[in-house]
């Protein structure tokens, strides 16, 4: 039986403020994992998630 190509792929979201903010309460980068449908959302995903290092809700972008 032929193997199907996965439509849903696992992606990683990373905080955009942790890379530039040097005055955060601890060193580190906030990362989340989630899945997305490649047919419906071919572009990179951006979601507003909580960053424990920045201590606020910030946009997280999909990384490769």
Options 3.30.70.890, 2.20.28.120, 3.90.1150.10, 1.10.10.10; CATH of 9-63? 2.20.28.120
Convert the pLDDT of each residue in 37-51 to its tens digit. 999 999 999 999 999
pLDDT at 64: 78
User: How many Cβ atoms are within 10 Å of 40's Cβ, its own excluded?
Assistant: 8
pLDDT at 3: 57
pLDDT at 26: 64
Where in the chain are the domains? 9-63
The dihedrals phi and psi of 20, each to the nearest 5 degrees, come to -105, -25
Residues of the chain with pLDDT under 50: none
Question: Kind of pairing, strands 46-51 and 31-37?
Answer: unpaired
**pTM above threshold 0.85:** no
Instruction: Please compute Rg for the chain using Cα positions.
Output: 15
């Amino acid at each position: 039986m032929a193997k199907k190509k996965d439509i849903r792929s696992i992606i990683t979201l990373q905080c955009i403020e942790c890379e530039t903010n040097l005055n955060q309460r601890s060193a580190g980068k906030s990362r989340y994992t989630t899945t997305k449908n490649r047919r419906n959302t071919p572009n990179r995903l951006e979601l507003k998630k909580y960053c424990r290092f920045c201590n606020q809700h910030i946009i997280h972008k999909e990384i490769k």
